[in-house]
């Protein structure tokens, strides 16, 4: 298994702040064949299904606001949310698809 | 427009077999490269990938559950199926199907499955 470790597990923020969520994989997610990192980020609001935000570590899914930025390579990845808005309060998960998919335990973004 | 919707029994008893159906539209599992996966979410184990099935009928399973899982599809009716044998209370979860492109870009609403005697 590739183990995905997310931090922090929860984060209290005020509207307008910039937040960073970290995700570390137990082995590299960088494909030597195409130089792509097989890492995705999802947002899940209460009572809803996860929603894809970012794939291949830094590609924003269509329709996702540009305040969501994915970065990183190899084993260390980051989701940055610039100028957090009330609608961004949710759980966030990273997921690798380098081998059979595994998810991080999640980060709960709450209002301070 | 891509949509997926799961259906299942809602509640079942320990040792029974769970049968889930994913009905989808907006894409076809007969198209080259297409894949549908099953993922579950429980409060105890978070999000856990279970299995996926490809357009060419290749199937892959989570190694920790492989002996209990069977995935299949009905291409003509745009459906995918998952069976899990010998259900236990630990399998209580919300079960999702999703389109798999190496990341899950469209998800169903999920179906809650409770295992209880």
Q: What does the pLDDT profile of chain A (112 residues) look like in tens digits? A: 999 999 999 999 999 999 999 999 999 999 999 999 999 999 999 999 999 999 999 999 999 999 999 999 999 999 999 999 999 999 999 999 999 999 999 999 998 8
Report yes or no: A44 and A91 within 8 Å, Cβ to Cβ. yes
- How high is the mean pLDDT of chain B? 97
Report yes or no: B81 and B20 within 8 Å, Cβ to Cβ. yes
- Summarised one tens digit per residue, pLDDT across range B71-107 is 999 999 999 999 999 999 999 999 999 999 989 999 9
Tokens 């922090």 correspond to A8
Which of the 8 DSSP states describes residue B63?
T
pLDDT of residue A111: 87
Between chain A and chain B, how many beta carbons pairs sit less than 8 Å apart?
Answer: 48
B16 CA to chain A: closest CA distance, Å? 26
- Summarised one tens digit per residue, pLDDT across range B20-39 is 999 999 999 999 999 999 99
pLDDT of residue A32: 95
A56 CA to chain B: closest CA distance, Å? 8
Report yes or no: A101 and B37 within 8 Å, Cβ to Cβ. yes
Report yes or no: B36 and B28 within 8 Å, Cβ to Cβ. no
Residue of B nearest to A98 (CA): B102
User: In a 10 Å sphere around its CB, with 0-12 CB exposed, 13-18 middle and 19+ buried, how is residue B15 labelled?
Assistant: exposed
pLDDT of residue A57: 98
**Cα B59 to Cα B78: distance, rounded to the nearest angstrom:** 17
Report yes or no: A24 and A76 within 8 Å, Cβ to Cβ. yes
């Amino acid at each position: 298994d590739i183990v995905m470790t997310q931090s922090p597990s929860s984060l209290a923020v005020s509207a307008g702040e910039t937040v960073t969520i970290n995700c570390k994989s137990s082995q590299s997610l960088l494909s030597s064949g195409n130089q792509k990192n097989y890492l995705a980020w999802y947002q899940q609001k209460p009572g809803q299904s996860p929603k894809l935000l970012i794939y291949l570590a830094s590609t924003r899914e269509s329709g996702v606001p540009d305040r969501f930025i994915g970065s990183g390579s190899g084993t260390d990845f980051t989701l940055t949310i610039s100028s957090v808005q009330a609608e961004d309060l949710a759980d966030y998960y990273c997921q690798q698809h380098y081998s059979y998919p595994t998810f991080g335990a999640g980060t709960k973004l709450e209002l301070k | 427009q891509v949509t997926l919707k799961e259906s299942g029994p809602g509640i079942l008893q320990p040792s029974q077999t769970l049968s889930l159906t994913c009905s989808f539209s907006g894409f076809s599992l007969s198209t080259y490269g297409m894949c549908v996966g099953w993922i579950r979410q429980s409060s105890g184990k978070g999000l856990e990938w279970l299995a996926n099935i490809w357009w060419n009928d290749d199937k892959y399973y989570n190694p920790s559950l492989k002996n209990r899982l069977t995935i299949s599809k009905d291409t003509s009716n745009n459906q995918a199926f998952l069976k899990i044998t010998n259900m236990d209370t630990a399998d209580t979860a919300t079960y999702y199907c999703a389109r798999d492109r190496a990341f899950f870009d469209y998800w169903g609403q999920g179906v809650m499955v409770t295992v209880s005697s």
